[in-house]
Amino acid sequence: MESSKALQIMLSSAILVLLLVSVFPDTEGCRAADGSNGHVQFHKVSHYEFSGPKWPPSKYNLTYAFLGNYPSDKINPVALDFDQWAANSGFTFSQVPNNTQSDLTISFQRLDHGDNSPFDGPGGVLAHAYDPEDGRFHFDADDSFVVGAVADSFDVETVAVHEIGHLLGLDHSLVQEAVMYEFITSGATNRDLHPDDIAGIKALYGF
């Protein structure tokens, strides 16, 4: 019981801490930068930190759409990620056609794509997603995204489950096993929400 109380106090205190360790300027969205050891580091770091804005209760039933020439083989992995967040929060997510207005949009973009956060070609920035209630989630089309663990490529489901956390208002976790951890590794997968991810979304929204 005492250890549980201590953990709760530690987590509550950690919410107040935001460590900026990237050389990139701060943005509303998520950035990633190449590391020297095959890892990629996401931009912001904290222990289930909140990015600020959150969705109002009237928007707990969110719609999402895949825009443009989004690869058909990469739709289901992202849909599975939405299902996982829904199963562990008070949100529901429904896919709508790409010609329908939606709360969230997912697309592949290249270089300067009109959001003042240009991608940088192969390597470097993998993806970014914006805080509520913006709803945009962009993959860098010049990076290699696959389904599964493939050397020198990134698992689309692993990247998406992380970025959806940002769409919902979460920043990064210091827990290495969490999907909101600051690092992602090529040729590997980390798709399952960790108790820290679940604690973060529940604490943010009071679910």
Enumerate the known binding-site residues: 103, 113, 115, 120-121, 128, 138, 140, 162, 166, 172, 180
Give me the residues paired with residue 137 across strands. 106, 129
Give 53's contacts (C-beta < 8 A, 6+ positions apart): 131, 132, 133, 169
Please enumerate, by residue number, every residue annotated as part of a binding site for Zn(2+). 113, 115, 128, 138, 162, 166, 172, 180
Could you give the CA distance from residue 146 to residue 204 in angstroms, rounded to a whole number? 31
> DSSP class of residue 194?
P
Could you give the CA distance from residue 159 to residue 149 in angstroms, rounded to a whole number? 12
Residues 130 and 53: beta-carbon distance below 8 Å: no
Could you give the CA distance from residue 187 to residue 196 in angstroms, rounded to a whole number? 24
> Cis omega before residue 182 (within 30°)?
no
Please enumerate, by residue number, every residue annotated as part of a binding site for Ca(2+). 103, 120-121, 140
Q: Which residues are tagged catalytic?
A: 163
